[in-house]
Amino acid sequence: MKILIINPNSSPEMTASIQKSALAYANGDFTVVTLPTPGAPEYIDYYTDAAIAAPGMMQLVRENEAEYDAFIVACHCDPNLDLLKQITDKPVVGIGEASMKLASMLGHSFSVVSAGTHSIPNKQAIIRKYHLEGCEASVRGPKEPCADCSAEGPYLSAARAAIHEDMAEVIVLGCAGFTGLAGSMAEELGVPVLDGVVCALLIASGLVKAGLSTSKIRRYSKGE
């Protein structure tokens, strides 16, 4: 089994850290490769970033469709996920959708910890798109966007507030750049902390194993 993780941005650092988490989960059971998106911006934050990344993401799927068994979109806002689900018969899994739907199985409600506050409405629009409003405790982020995503401090504070004030029972890391933080944060917080990269690999590798993929009958039909 071979899974291709598409990092929708062009940052080599983020690509490397995603790949590191992916290899740890795969643990030799299947092959996983993470690629940055050609022509994409350094960070996917706005609708423009997603639009600019679209052609490169389509290209990655099309060039690798024969060789790979499944694709993952490794940005928590799941940019262009519907688009990629449409163009290939292979399974495509977004880290946002995978992590939040798994979160709904592990506790009464979840909170998403995001990189900043300006994108909270965008996260909530995605949560609604996935019919998950009823499972959402809150979306929280540090007041100031963090220069350094790997610094746990501000995210731990946001998560603690989510758990104690918003009654969240599960924490979802709301940025692919947070990959690798789940273990230590879960230990600190005492509740499950979900890493989207891990969650998407869990779903994607399972779908391949089960021989399942996107329904092509209407919403994601390829057209002629």
| Chain residues 152-171 in contact with a copy of itself, contact rule CB under 8 A | 163, 167, 169-170
- Read out DSSP for 151-172? --HHHHHHHHHHHHTS--SEEE
Piece of the chain touching a copy of itself by CB under 8 A; list 32-40, 67-75, 147-155, 188-196:
188-196
Piece of the chain touching a copy of itself by CB under 8 A; list 31-39, 70-78, 130-138, 173-181:
130-138
Of 23, 64, 130, 152, which one interacts with a copy of itself (CB under 8 A)?
130
Least CB distance to a copy of itself at residue 37 (A): 13
Structure tokens at 200: 């998407």
β-strands 70-73, 92-94: how paired?
A: parallel
Residues 63-92 that bind a copy of itself (CB under 8 A): 80, 82-83, 85-87, 91
Measure the CA–CA gap between 34 and 77, rounded to whole angstroms.
Answer: 18
Of 32, 40, 58, 176, which one interacts with a copy of itself (CB under 8 A)?
58
DSSP percent split of the chain into helix, strand, coil, nearest 5: 45, 15, 40
Piece of the chain touching a copy of itself by CB under 8 A; list 2-10, 31-39, 97-105, 154-162:
97-105
Least CB distance to a copy of itself at residue 74 (A): 16
Quick one: DSSP state of residue 145?
P
Residues 18-57 that bind a copy of itself (CB under 8 A): 25, 27, 29, 45-48, 50-51, 54-55
Measure the CA–CA gap between 173 and 184, rounded to whole angstroms.
Answer: 12
Of 32, 93, 127, 185, which one interacts with a copy of itself (CB under 8 A)?
93
Contact (Cβ atoms closer than 8 angstroms) between residue 139 and residue 127: yes
Closer by beta carbon to a copy of itself, 13 or else 47: 47
Q: Is residue 31 classed as helix, strand or coil in its secondary structure?
A: strand
Residue 173 β-bridge partners = 113
